[in-house]
Amino acid sequence: GKKIGVVTGGGDCPGLNAVIRAIVKAGDMQGFTTIGIRGGFDGLLTPVQAAPLSVRDMDGLLIRGGTILGTANSGKFSSKTGQGETRKIPENLMTQVRQTIEALGLNALVVIGGDGTLTTALQMHESGLPVIGVPKTIDNDLDATQQTFGFDTAVACAVDALDRLHSTAQSHNRVMVLEVMGRYAGWIAAYAGLAGGADVILIPEIKFNMPSIEKKIRAREATGKLFTIVIVAEGAKLDDSMVVSDNDETDREVRLGGIGYAIAEKIQEKTGKESRCVVLGHLQRGGQPTHWDRQLCTRFGVQAVHMAASRNFGKMVALKPSGMMGSVNLKDAVNRIRSVDPDGELILTARTLGICFGDEI
Ligand code: F6P
């Protein structure tokens, strides 16, 4: 019979299992057996990492975090260098993958991943393999789809954290800094900041300086609001012209990661207000997907099966601006990061509310 292989790559993400479930169930309806590949792309080097997934195996998976297949975001199949340049996957590895796919008798290979994983998938397609991509990342930074799955769940987690930080900030008249994920794009920080009532939102797309933040905190104090909530994306950047301290070490820290802690420390130093930092980290990637992600994952999975059935390869499933499922060529989907538009409606709305982005001065 016909077979679809499924592999997950890159970091884990809420909803991976929901996509796998949708593929297995819809595949079953269309006469496909789904073969799960374990351990990311490395699992394609030999057929032993592959096993059929039955509809019964999918019980409970719609809501389960992580991926039952396991994943890896580094190693032989990394298609991106640390500098973000594309790296070609060696021909001998591609040959091994082709042999595995032939040995397993796969008619299609569904690759679920973010930009790096999909870049590898594109190279597999270009070497003649029947590949279909599904866009996964909590960062929501792929331009070819209106949304990636996992994002909504990550935002929900960050909003929950902001809600909790509000009550403790208020009780102690403190400044609370929440650091969220987002190396290249500030989607999580921007959406969560808006939904969770943050006073300051710092994102990679808008360089910030400390005096603007200080001014915001003092302005709040002048109106009797003695606490402040700051949300910062891990990739947020300090204004280059800015000297943050007389101390080179602190400058370095602010620039080179652990940014939330450095900002909290700096705020305390400048304003005299007690400040604390929480790094939300991988909590954003764990646990049950939200209802929004569950339906998005289910639709992505079913769309991937439709594409396998019609042998529509070298494409990525996508949520179109119309709100409908569709697809785009993988080559038009990879290497296209979608950033938050600093002059777009989302940011302007926040600014209209008085939210500070750290660039006011
Ligand atoms: O791309 C997803 C993501 O969670 C980013 O937001 C974050 O920068 C990165 O992965 C963390 O990677 P790791 O799990 O390898 O530390």
Ligand 1 binding pocket includes 196 (Cβ within 6 Å):
no
- Write a three-state SS string for 78-90: CCECCCCCECCCC
- Residue 9: the pLDDT is 94
230 bridge partner residues: 177, 200
Q: Could you tell me the pTM of the whole model?
A: 0.94
d(CA 137, ligand 1 centre) in Å: 9
Q: Given the CA of residue 182, which atom of ligand 1 is nearest to it? A: 6
* 306 annotated ligand-binding residue: no
What is the rounded CA–CA span in Å between residue 223 and residue 360? 19
With a CB cutoff of 8 Å and minimum separation 6, the contacts of 23 are 4, 6, 34, 110, 301, 302, 304, 305
Low-confidence ranges of the chain (pLDDT < 50): 255
CA distance 92 to 81: 19
Q: Is 8 in the pocket of ligand 1 (CB under 6 A)?
A: no
Distance between CA 132 and CA 314 in Å, rounded?
A: 6
Distance CA 47, CA 18 (A): 24
Q: Is 284 assigned to a binding site? A: yes
Q: Which atom of ligand 1 is nearest to the CA of 188?
A: 6
Does 176 show up as a binding residue in the annotation? no
**Is the CB–ligand 1 distance for residue 285 below 6 Å?**
yes
Q: Which of the listed residues 119, 183, 339 should we mutate to test ligand 1's pocket, taking the one with most ligand atoms within 8 A of CB?
A: 183
List pLDDT tens digits, range 66-109: 999 998 877 899 988 877 789 999 999 999 999 999 999 999 99
Q: What is the pLDDT of residue 83?
A: 77
User: CA-CA distances (angstroms) from residue 112 to 92, 177, 351?
Assistant: 23, 33, 36
Q: What is the model's pLDDT at position 246?
A: 57
d(CA 141, ligand 1 centre) in Å: 12
Q: What is the pLDDT of residues 51-75, one digit of tens each?
A: 999 999 999 999 999 999 998 877 8
Task: Name the residues annotated as catalytic.
Answer: 139
* Residue of minimum CA distance from atom 12 in ligand 1: 11
- 183 marked as binding residue: yes
